[in-house]
């Protein structure tokens, strides 16, 4: 099954609805007119995504950036926090709207992550796919402010350390809704899809498939209150512990409804750690690695059953035409891992 088919099936499974807007009234609107990555700092008739972000960062009001259907590519290499090179730096209050994850793709080419949300800034992403990202922390996004994803797909992103798709940093607050994570990798760290090391996260109506990390193939929870509601995780893997969920053995994660099965890890095949159930449906294929509570109370160390590594499947997006992402030969999956990245943390 290719990535485009996966995204289509994912959106059907999560039952996307329009719902109420979670963002404030937006004052400024910028329309990106080109798919290439260029910079002059002005968003006029000749406006790249980097230019639009720069204009929105300067605005005193919340801003909307509109992307049409197509594949946008990041190519200006380097590193700064001024949005002039490397990843796109967000220092304002921005809503980035695509035409849908099957139609609007941002391809990073394996050179850098897509976005870094700076302290006191906010970024909302709607209706787009991020793929081919690569960094030390957060293969697609590093969040040090406020980050919201709605109706998105994050596919084949790589972190050399932690947060294969998203690294929610110490000051970060994260909300994820109706979003799919597939074949993201944290090569030498934790959280194949998401590393929650910030001030809290809420993940709703989202699917995790074929992600990999040392610990927590889907998600790793370091600190911050976390709520998981209507989560599905399968075919994810961890080299050490927690094939899908890993809470560090003592962190408590609140759950409403989850379905986690057919994941792989030597210790805690589907889950390792403590979960607090405030919902009604908890389906964990092999729950021996997790301690599930109905209320917060003193806990004991969870049991940890062994398991074997997963067998890989190759997933390739049609929108990756012209940009080849090589993937390492492992017994878990075929995502690319490149140590020693020179990109900023």
Distance CA 329, CA 314 (A): 11
Write down the domain spans for the chain.
3-15+112-320
Residue 26's pLDDT is: 58
Residue 324's pLDDT is: 39
| DSSP 8-class letter at 288 | G
Residue 225's pLDDT is: 78
Residue 2's pLDDT is: 55
pTM: 0.80
Distance CA 66, CA 29 (A): 7
Residue 3's pLDDT is: 53
Residue 252's pLDDT is: 74
Structure-token match 């797909």, residue found:
153
Distances (CA, A) of 128 to 82, 85, 111: 24, 22, 19
Distance of CA 298 to the CA centre of its chain: 32
Residue 250's pLDDT is: 57
Distance CA 130, CA 51 (A): 19
Q: What is the pLDDT of residues 29-76, one digit of tens each?
A: 999 999 999 999 999 999 999 999 999 999 989 999 999 999 999 999
Torsion of CA 282, 283, 284, 288, to 10 degrees: 60
Segments of the chain with pLDDT less than 70: 1-26, 224, 249-251, 295-345
């Amino acid at each position: 099954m290719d990535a485009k088919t996966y995204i289509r099936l994912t959106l059907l499974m999560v039952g996307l609805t329009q719902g109420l807007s979670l963002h404030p009234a937006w004052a400024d609107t910028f329309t990106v007119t080109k798919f290439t990555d260029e910079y002059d700092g002005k968003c006029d008739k000749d406006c790249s995504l980097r230019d639009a972000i720069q204009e929105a960062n300067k605005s005193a009001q919340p801003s909307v950036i509109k992307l049409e259907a197509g594949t946008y590519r990041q190519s200006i290499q380097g590193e700064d926090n001024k949005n002039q090179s490397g990843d796109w730096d967000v220092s304002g209050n921005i809503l980035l709207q695509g035409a849908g994850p099957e139609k609007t793709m941002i391809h990073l080419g394996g050179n850098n992550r897509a976005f870094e949300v700076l302290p006191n800034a906010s970024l909302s992403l709607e209706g787009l796919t991020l793929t081919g990202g690569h960094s030390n922390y957060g293969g697609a996004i590093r969040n040090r402010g406020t980050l919201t994803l709605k109706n998105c797909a994050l596919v084949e992103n790589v972190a050399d350390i932690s947060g294969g798709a998203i690294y929610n940093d110490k000051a970060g607050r994260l909300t994820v809704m109706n979003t799919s994570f597939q074949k993201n990798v944290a090569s030498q760290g934790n959280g194949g899809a998401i590393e929650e090391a910030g001030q809290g996260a809420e993940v709703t109506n989202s699917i995790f498939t074929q992600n990999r990390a040392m610990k927590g193939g889907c998600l790793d929870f370091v600190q911050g209150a976390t709520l998981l509601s209507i989560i599905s995780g399968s075919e994810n893997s961890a080299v050490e512990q927690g094939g899908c969920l890993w809470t560090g053995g003592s962190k408590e994660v609140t759950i409403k409804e989850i379905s986690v099965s057919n994941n792989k890890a030597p210790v805690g095949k589907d889950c390792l750690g403590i979960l607090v159930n405030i919902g009604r449906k908890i389906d964990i294929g092999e729950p021996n690695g997790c301690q599930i509570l109905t209320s917060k109370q003193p806990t004991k160390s969870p049991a940890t059953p062994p398991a074997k590594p997963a067998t890989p499947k190759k997933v390739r997006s049609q929108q990756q035409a012209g940009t080849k992402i090589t993937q390492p030969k492992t017994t878990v999956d075929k995502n690319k891992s490149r140590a020693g990245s020179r990109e900023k943390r």
